[in-house]
Structure 1
Amino acid sequence: DELERAQKLLPIVFGHNDLLPANILDDGKRLWLIDFEYAGFNTAMFDLAGAASNAGMNDDESFAFLTAYFMKEPDGEIRRSHAAMQCASLLREAMWSMVSELYLDAPGIDYVAYTEENLVRLDAALENYRTKYGIKS
């Protein structure tokens, strides 16, 4: 509820829904998005937050990213929404990894470690969010 209440209503768009750095290729001339298996309609904030959290952007980088997307500096409501959605994105990634621990067996992939990494990142993101914005009812 806490993270949902922080969301600013934005238009629903067609989203990638898995913007990990590995799914963005740069051929030197342009960027290519690959791996659309989770694509669908969603708020743009999910992709914006997912890209930022998955790339490990700091607050300044996230601010610049949002400014580029919205073509203006984001207001406090957008920044709060973005920080909350980063938490939701990390939670989704951690849960995906937990399921992968049980059902996937890709050579060289340590899903247990990936789950732990995402849970640590989620805890840090939640701490950052709550420190900045508190828990709003």
Structure 2
Amino acid sequence: MPQPGSPTPDIQDAFAAHPELRTICGAVLGAVSQAGLSNRVYRLDAERGVFFLRLPRAETAGMVNRDDEAENIRCAADLGVALGPLFCNPASGILLTRAIENVGAPPEVLCGHLGDALGQLHASGKVFRGRLDPGQVIAAQKTALGSGGQTEADVALLERALRELQPHERSGPARLAVPSHGDPSPGNCLMAPGRLWLIDWEYSAMAEPAWDLAYASLEHGFSPAQEARFLEAYRHRAGDRLCPSERDLEIMKAKCDVVSALWGLEQRLKGSDKTDFLAFANARRDRALAAVRKVTG
């Protein structure tokens, strides 16, 4: 465990702007920065316990409906799949929860816990605020990116790939939407003894079940055997009705990677230096194109 350092200026500013934080935590004795691409997250050692404090980054301003997120995380906490908020301020995006120790788990163990947690969420019958539709997300991302240079060429390439998928997609009635986490990537999965918690519900909304399942499998890098175990745990909790076919899951994987690639390009355009977002975007672009080739033959 890293030794906690002194509270950073952004933590001090948050506590000054929101006295409720000090009421809940007491004085902050130390802080350790946690991994996170779109937010600043700290583990706080304070007089009244240990907490997670999320402070949004400036470049994510306007990208998340914080009112919807606040309602959805409370709903997920009632189900026991999210840490309940101790302080949640949609206007600022600041979120405080109790901290838990992440004991970690190898993918072959985590896949079963994650499948169970997503199955519980999807089959709960809860109604989240917001709607997460890949087509709408991608259209908004294209508008945000604008035109010009290599970015425009990458967007055009991904658009052509998505058009190739269209003849292979299901037609008919509108697809079922379920309460979804939206980004069940490794950094948002905390493995406590005997159970898994999902954190960071910024992109939570009603979505097709395939969205969470595809994103989880992709970002955790599940092997075929691990993905099979993941889906088996999901079916055990949610039933066969919600589980997509192999083809539909592969199509959603392509769409998820397109969204991730465009998100990476957006972050780079906004000047975020949190990570190498160009390499991130290129890796997701290449994986999306490979998935399209797999579906279309």
Once residues 73 and 79 of structure 1 are traced to their aligned partners in structure 2, the CA distance between those partners, rounded to angstroms, is 12
Once residues 167 and 188 of structure 2 are traced to their aligned partners in structure 1, the CA distance between those partners, rounded to angstroms, is 26
Once residues 261 and 294 of structure 2 are traced to their aligned partners in structure 1, the CA distance between those partners, rounded to angstroms, is 18
Q: Provide structure 2 residue ranges, at least 5 long, that are not aligned to the other structure.
A: 1-162
Equivalence for 2:234:
69
Equivalence for 1:11:
176
Q: Amino acid of the residue matched to residue 48 of structure 1? A: L
**1:22 Cα shift?**
1.1
Secondary structure of 1:41's aligned partner: strand
**1:96 Cα shift?**
0.6
Alignment of 1:38-117 (within 5 A): 38-71=203-236, 78-107=245-274, 109-117=275-283
Q: Amino acid of the residue matched to residue 100 of structure 1? A: Q
> Normalising by structure 2, what TM-score?
0.39
Q: Number of residues paired by the alignment?
A: 128
Highest relative contact order (Cα 8 Å, sep 6+), 1 or 2?
1
Please provide the CA RMSD for this pair. 2.5
Q: Is the 8 A contact 2:177 2:209 kept in 1?
A: yes
The reply to whether residue 120 of structure 1 matches residue 293 of structure 2 is no
Q: Deviations over 1:36-69 (max 9, x none)?
A: 1111111111001111111122333323322221
- Shift of the 73–59 alpha-carbon distance from structure 1 to 2, 3 Å rule, reads farther
Once residues 216 and 179 of structure 2 are traced to their aligned partners in structure 1, the CA distance between those partners, rounded to angstroms, is 15
Equivalence for 2:196:
31
Q: Is the 8 A contact 1:66 1:73 kept in 2?
A: no
- Shift of the 7–104 alpha-carbon distance from structure 1 to 2, 3 Å rule, reads farther
Give the ranges of 4+ consecutive aligned residues of structure 1 lying more than 4 Å apart after TM superposition.
7-10
Matched-pair identity in %: 26
Relative to its length, the structure with more strand (as a share) is 2
Once residues 293 and 176 of structure 2 are traced to their aligned partners in structure 1, the CA distance between those partners, rounded to angstroms, is 28
Q: Is the 8 A contact 2:214 2:249 kept in 1?
A: yes
Once residues 41 and 25 of structure 1 are traced to their aligned partners in structure 2, the CA distance between those partners, rounded to angstroms, is 22
> Normalising by structure 1, what TM-score?
0.79
Equivalence for 2:153:
none
